[in-house]
């Protein structure tokens, strides 16, 4: 397996910058997940690594070798797409063996590779079928099989599960994780799915508007998002935000966020008085308060969504919409009032202008 190194890799289409210089070092055997909103440049980055798109600047190294000028087929990388792109007139075995045939691999070796991959992916009984006679999940597995037989130096996945229903996705997600545990292949995986990103990644790369916003383990991004974009992007339901001004503690009051319709205590945070800040708190960290609690924010319950595992309570105070999450069921009803607290140990603070995280103990 191979390392992948990107040094100031960038891309523009004519005058339009799609990717600002990207620096990323991927270890051999590492599973890196790329997330970001639609159009932020995820597929473009993958396609440049695969050689399907030319970088307009920077160096792409695979196993330490610069590949910018190398043909896709010589990069020894396999890509699995969202649309499986199977050949409809070929059987499962034919699809899986096609790239090996092109490379003039010996027949016995091809048969062995296809058999191995089909067994690994639970396709052994389906090798003679045509793609149209397969379910979505089975087709997806054929596409993966096609990648595996080539024994590439690295795998690139571009939203490979997004065409599957929820149940199949969950199953295939676990399959991909097991496959990675077995093959230990260096992988870059693009997804919109929070759970895929959190569960599959050794590290997540969060991209927005062609720029890397943060690189870290799933928990790094979840617990210490570097900026407001990452804070809002990672986690579902998403983090809540309240904007206002920092007020230093005077006359025995602790420092707090002074917002239009709320005042949120900020523990021992010491920053410039009056600085514009945004406070973030995840739905699962919102506390419900009794009538006497100081600083509690009085909210209207707008909607209650029981998900089965838990309940999402949609709340509002002033112009601010807030979601709270609790495992299990509750007796909340739309139209009621509820008092909430944002415990300081769970609060994230961001600069009101730049959106950058402001550290606190
Ligand atoms: N050939 C092209 N010519 C001009 N612009 C392009 C071309 N290919 C992609 N783009 C633009 O580059 C940007 C990044 O596209 P890309 O496909 O990498 O996004 P993405 O992050 O994969 O989005 P999605 O999540 O929707 O798949 C988009 O704004 C897109 O319109
Ligand atoms: Mg894409």
**Residues surrounding ion ligand 2 at CB below 5 Å:** 43
CA 339 to ligand 2 center in whole angstroms? 42
Supply the pLDDT for residue 121. 83
Q: Please tell me the residue having the least CA distance from ligand 1 atom 25.
A: 38
Q: Between helices 136-149 and 107-120, what is the axis angle to 10°?
A: 140
Supply the pLDDT for residue 232. 96
Task: State the Cα–Cα distance between residues 202 and 197, nearest whole angstrom.
Answer: 9
Supply the pLDDT for residue 185. 92
* pLDDT tens profile 161-172: 888 888 888 888
Average pLDDT, integer, range 33-51: 96
CA 40 to ligand 2 center in whole angstroms? 8
Q: Is 105 exposed, middle or buried (0-12, 13-18, 19+ CB in 10 A)?
A: middle
Average pLDDT, integer, range 5-28: 97
Most confident of 56-70, 106-120, 237-251: 56-70
Say which DSSP state 238 is in.
P
Strands 357-358 and 287-288: what pairing?
unpaired
Task: Average the pLDDT over each of 59-63, 189-193, 350-354 and give the range with the smallest value.
Answer: 189-193
Instruction: Provide residues with CB under 6 Å of ligand 1.
Output: 13, 18, 36, 38-44
High-pLDDT (> 70) share of the chain, %: 100
The structure tokens 């600069």 sit at 351
**Proximal ligand: closest to the CA of 19:** 1
Task: Average the pLDDT over each of 9-18, 118-127, 315-324 and give the range with the smallest value.
Answer: 118-127
Q: Please tell me the residue having the least CA distance from ligand 1 atom 4.
A: 13
**Proximal ligand: closest to the CA of 12:** 1
Supply the pLDDT for residue 163. 80
CA 101 to ligand 2 center in whole angstroms? 29
* pLDDT tens profile 119-147: 888 899 999 999 999 988 889 889 989 98
Strands 186-190 and 31-35: what pairing?
parallel
> Domains in the chain, please, with CATH?
4-233 (3.40.50.300), 240-351 (2.40.50.140)
Cβ–Cβ < 8 Å for 353, 271: no
CA 48 to ligand 1 center in whole angstroms? 12
pLDDT band at 1 (very low <50, low <70, confident <90, very high): confident
Supply the pLDDT for residue 206. 97
Q: Please tell me the residue having the least CA distance from ligand 1 atom 31.
A: 39
- SS3 assignment, position 196: helix
* pLDDT tens profile 159-214: 988 888 888 888 888 888 988 998 899 999 999 888 899 999 999 999 999 999 99
Task: State the Cα–Cα distance between residues 260 and 62, nearest whole angstrom.
Answer: 53
Task: State the Cα–Cα distance between residues 103 and 167, nearest whole angstrom.
Answer: 37
Ligand 1 mutation pick, 20, 35, 40, 81, max ligand atoms within 8 A of CB: 40
Cβ–Cβ < 8 Å for 344, 265: yes
CA 40 to ligand 1 center in whole angstroms? 7
CA 337 to ligand 2 center in whole angstroms? 43
pLDDT band at 274 (very low <50, low <70, confident <90, very high): very high
pLDDT at 253 over 90: no
Ligand 1 mutation pick, 9, 37, 43, max ligand atoms within 8 A of CB: 43
Q: Please tell me the residue having the least CA distance from ligand 1 atom 19.
A: 39
pLDDT band at 114 (very low <50, low <70, confident <90, very high): very high
Supply the pLDDT for residue 252. 73
* pLDDT tens profile 284-301: 999 999 888 888 999 999
Supply the pLDDT for residue 332. 94
Task: State the Cα–Cα distance between residues 298 and 132, nearest whole angstrom.
Answer: 57
What's the distance, CA 34 to chain centroid?
6
pLDDT, the chain, mean: 93
């Amino acid at each position: 397996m191979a390392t992948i190194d990107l040094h100031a890799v960038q891309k523009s289409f004519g005058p339009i910058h799609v990717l600002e210089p990207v620096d990323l070092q991927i270890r051999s055997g590492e599973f890196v997940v790329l997330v970001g909103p639609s159009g932020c440049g995820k597929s473009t980055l993958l396609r440049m690594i695969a050689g399907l798109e030319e970088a307009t600047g920077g160096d792409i190294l695979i196993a330490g070798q610069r590949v910018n000028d190398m043909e896709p087929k010589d990069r020894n990388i396999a890509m699995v797409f969202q649309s499986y792109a199977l050949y409809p007139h070929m059987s499962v075995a034919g699809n899986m063996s096609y790239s090996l045939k092109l490379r003039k691999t010996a027949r016995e070796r091809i048969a062995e590779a296809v058999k191995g991959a089909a067994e690994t992916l639970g396709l052994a009984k389906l090798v003679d079928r045509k793609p149209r006679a397969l379910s979505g999940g089975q087709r997806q597995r054929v596409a993966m099989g096609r990648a595996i037989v080539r024994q590439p130096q690295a795998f690139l996945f571009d939203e490979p599960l997004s065409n599957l229903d929820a149940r199949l996705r969950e199953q295939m997600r676990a399959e991909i994780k097991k496959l990675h545990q077995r093959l230990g292949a260096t992988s870059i995986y693009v997804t919109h799915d929070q759970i895929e990103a959190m569960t599959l990644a050794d590290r997540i790369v969060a991209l927005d508007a062609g720029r890397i916003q943060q690189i870290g383990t799933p928990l790094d991004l979840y617990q210490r998002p570097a900026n407001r974009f990452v804070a809002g992007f990672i986690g579902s339901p998403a983090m809540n935000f309240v904007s206002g001004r920092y007020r230093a503690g005077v006359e025995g009051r602790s420092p707090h966020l002074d917002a239009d319709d709320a005042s949120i205590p900020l523990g021992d945070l010491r920053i410039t008085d009056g600085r514009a800040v945004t406070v973030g708190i995840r739905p699962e960290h919102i506390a419900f308060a009794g009538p006497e609690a100081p600083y509690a924010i009085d909210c209207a319950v707008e909607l209650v969504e029981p998900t089965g595992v838990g309940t999402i309570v949609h709340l509002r105070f002033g112009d601010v919409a807030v979601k709270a999450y609790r495992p299990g069921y509750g007796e909340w009803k739309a139209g009621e009032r509820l008092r909430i607290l944002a415990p300081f140990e769970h609060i994230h603070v961001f600069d009101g202008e730049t959106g950058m995280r402001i550290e606190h103990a």
